[in-house]
Amino acid sequence: MPTIIDGKKTSDQIKSEIAARVAEIKAEGGKIPHLAAVLVGNDGASQTYVGAKVKACEQVGFDSTLVRLEETVSEEELLKVVEDINQNPAIDGLIVQLPLPKHIAVEKVTDKIKPEKDVDGFTPANVGRMTLGWPAYVAATPYGIVELLKRYNIETSGKHCVVIGRSHIVGSPMSILMARNDYPGNCTVTLTHSRTKNLPEITRTADILIVAIGKPEFVTADMVKEGAVVIDVGIHRIDDPAKKSGFRLIGDVKFDEVAAKASAITPVPGGVGPMTIASLLYNTLLAAERKVFQ
């Protein structure tokens, strides 16, 4: 049986560590970390994600502010809200929940966020700093994966890491983090995507396979080397009449058959997902303590 890389358990550990630090800050009379989230529209998934982030702030003792805006808000109005939060010294971290309505340019909004408050790690300043190996807020999902590899003592130095998916949120930063001169890191990295030819031949050479392609059960056993470490970033809701809820969650990896070959694997749900919020909280703590941008 492979090692099951438990993101729920690990995220709970991280939250406990953060809560302990917040208790110290409070005892010292310091400033409590404060995260602001901006939610545009009524997308169900976005509301769930933001709600979970606000709840997580309460769990660790952070202050939080949720700004709700109508779907019809203009780009100019949204940028004004972002700028107001930028200028508010009480707020340490700012996230704008994606996706945004089509009439708003995501790049404009991201670029407007002050790098010092960009706890999502999406601004050009933070992406550039991460690429150079400078102190930076690393995007929450890649950071969560790195932390899982570290806490499960997965050897990475000299290993071949194959990343499937090249999004700016997961795949691209993940490839940079795994190649850097650090632990986890020092991998030889191959970044693949939907246009990659002979993909199964490449994935079969991976010691560490990170799958973030957004396609349900895309990776099957024949694409995985015996003994590989498999990190599944995907999450998809599919109908399942056998479940009381009527649905179940699956990842980008066909779990049962791939687990039979892997030395370690993340489940869905309960793998990478919980780590994303834990990483966001960690970045907010760094922001509050001015540990990235001095």
Catalytic residue among 97, 117, 118, 232: 97
Which residue in 168, 187, 194, 177 sits closest to 132, CA to CA?
Answer: 177
Q: Which of 64, 130, 73 is nearest to 92 (CA)?
A: 64
Q: How far is CA 57 from CA 27, 67, 118, 281, in A?
A: 18, 15, 16, 7
**Residues comprising the binding site for NADP(+)?**
165-167, 235
* Active-site annotation holds for 84: no
Tell how far CA 257 is from the center of its chain. 26
In sequence order, what are the residues at sequence separation of 6 or more whose Cβ sits closer than 8 angstroms to the Cβ of residue 6? Answer: 267, 270, 271
| CA proximity to 187, closest of 199, 177, 197, 173 | 177
Kindly provide the b/e burial profile for residues 124-134, where b requires at least 16 CB atoms within 10 angstroms of the residue's own CB: ebbbebbeeee
Query: Annotated catalytic residue: which of 15, 53, 225, 254?
Result: 53
Strands 3-4 and 63-69, sheet pairing: unpaired
Which residue type, as a one-letter code, is found at position 42? N
In angstroms, the CA 51 to CA 203 distance is 36
Verify whether residue 13 is a known catalytic residue.
Answer: no
Q: Which residues of 230-251 are buried (b: 16+ CB within 10 A; e: fewer)?
A: bbbbbbeeeeeeeeeeeeebbb
Q: Which residues are annotated as a binding site?
A: 165-167, 235
97 a catalytic residue: yes
Which residue in the list 120, 207, 232, 252 is annotated as catalytic? 120
* Residues identified as active-site: 53, 97, 120
